[in-house]
Amino acid sequence: MTIETEIEYVESQLRIGHHIKDTFEEMQQQNRKLWQHWDQLLQHCEQLPQQRNQRQHAKAKQLRKQILQDMTAITQLNQSISSMRHTLRVLYNKMHIHSSTKVNSSTKEDSEEHDKKDKILDGENSTDEGKTLEKEMEEVVERNLEIQELVKEHLKRDDEKEDALKKSENKIEALNKREALLKSRLEALDKMQMEAGLFSRY
């Protein structure tokens, strides 16, 4: 692959990166709304088991699972974008190195054109902006992972509560059976005593 071909490839990748950067802030705003919404859902889920309603409890558990799936998908998306930005930054630096080797790149006109292309491809103050976006992305991913762990902990508690509830129901069922057995035995004993009383009269 020639230097010119490689530069064309890098520039095409940078155009993709620039488009991602333009849409990233909008995605971040949507994510922040999702974080707030999911926090409210988690608080709501915490209250549902206290109502001791099995249907609502099952609904809360299913809701937590859905939240966990959504959070996992968002985390993977953010990590993919972060990886792509890193790759594009490497390619961008590589493009500058190759561009500096061109014979005609030393002229003022070509230099101005090159700077203009850089601004179009990566925006003004790209380094500072890129670092800020990457830092925000890292914070989002970290927050996302924390919420995932929280949701997993809630699911674990739900399973433990369900197991405890099932054990309690089994104990109650066993006690009911024992009570029924004792009741039948008492009835049989009463019947025997009544029959014994009748026989004693003769």
Q: Please report whether residue 46 resides in a domain.
A: yes
CA distance 24 to 120: 17
Instruction: State the amino acid at position 128 in one-letter form.
Output: D
Percent of the chain predicted with pLDDT > 70: 28
Q: Please report whether residue 141 resides in a domain.
A: yes
Q: Please report whether residue 164 resides in a domain.
A: no
pLDDT of 120 higher than 50: no
Domains contained in the chain, number: 1
Q: Please report whether residue 12 resides in a domain.
A: yes
Tokens of 65: 């699972």
Angle at 52 between CA 50 and CA 56, to 5 degrees: 95
Domain containing 134: what range? Answer: 3-157
Q: How confident is the model at residue 106 (pLDDT cuts 50, 70, 90)?
A: very low
**Any idea which of 46-50, 85-89, 105-109, 167-171 has the lowest mean pLDDT?**
105-109
Residue 55: helix, strand or coil by DSSP?
A: helix
Question: Has this prediction a pTM greater than 0.75?
Answer: no
